[in-house]
A = this chain, B = another copy of it.
């Protein structure tokens, strides 16, 4: 079970209690921890398949106790997706400086995205498995597409600056890079042998320098 750090509660602005805390007097769950468990259930069974009854079973609390924290299943989804997207966009924003070369920004985006994927794995997993069946999902997928377009722009910029080869598809290349990065949620085990930095090093070497000796 991934650990989720205590963060600011988005609704009240107060600091949420740690995961075993008891905000608002509910034993065992604060809003933060409740969402974290729900995201795991979504990832295991699929968001559409998961009912409030299933969430209640996995949390070990009644449905009305869940509604004490959130108004709907969709609110849980929305908050989880916001977390994933905010983190990914923040990582991109940190490397998008106007005076740096495209290839350096591209490397920064690869490293930053991998760090977010590993740190926020359940939330990003949920994002990547979305089918886009509701306004919340459609909005999240639009933000995902903006990330893809940013990587597309960086590839083009790096080509224009003479740092990236020209004999590749400008449409496929960004998607292959992101596909490689996103696959990490399917197979990487945080805490296993090898650090996140080593993983990012391997990805950057492969994408920019190639594997050939």
Judged by a CB distance under 8 angstroms, whether A212 is at the interface is yes
Instruction: Determine if A183 and B194 form an interchain contact, defined as CB atoms under 8 angstroms apart.
Output: no
* A201 CB → nearest B CB, Å: 8
Task: Give how many copies assemble into the complex.
Answer: 2
Judged by a CB distance under 8 angstroms, whether A6 is at the interface is no
A155 neighbours in B (Cβ, 8 Å)? 211
Complex Cα–Cα for A103 and B48 (A): 43
Contact pick for A173, options B177, B202, B209, CB 8 Å? B202
Judged by a CB distance under 8 angstroms, whether A172 is at the interface is yes
Instruction: Determine if B46 and A202 form an interchain contact, defined as CB atoms under 8 angstroms apart.
Output: no
Contact pick for A179, options B44, B131, B168, B184, CB 8 Å? B184
Instruction: Determine if B199 and A206 form an interchain contact, defined as CB atoms under 8 angstroms apart.
Output: no
A180 neighbours in B (Cβ, 8 Å)? 176-177, 179-180, 183
Complex Cα–Cα for A34 and B176 (A): 32
A176 neighbours in B (Cβ, 8 Å)? 180, 183-184, 202-203, 206
A52 neighbours in B (Cβ, 8 Å)? none
Of A8-16, A74-82, A159-167, the one touching chain B: A159-167
* A110 CB → nearest B CB, Å: 11
Instruction: Determine if B165 and A199 form an interchain contact, defined as CB atoms under 8 angstroms apart.
Output: no
Instruction: Determine if B213 and A166 form an interchain contact, defined as CB atoms under 8 angstroms apart.
Output: yes
A162 neighbours in B (Cβ, 8 Å)? 213
The 7 closest A-B pairs by CB, nearest first: A179-B183, A210-B210, A180-B180, A209-B210, A168-B202, A169-B202, A175-B187
Chain A residues near B (Cβ < 8 Å):
44-46, 48-49, 103, 131, 155, 158-159, 162-169, 171-173, 175-184, 186-188, 193-194, 198-199, 201-203, 205-213
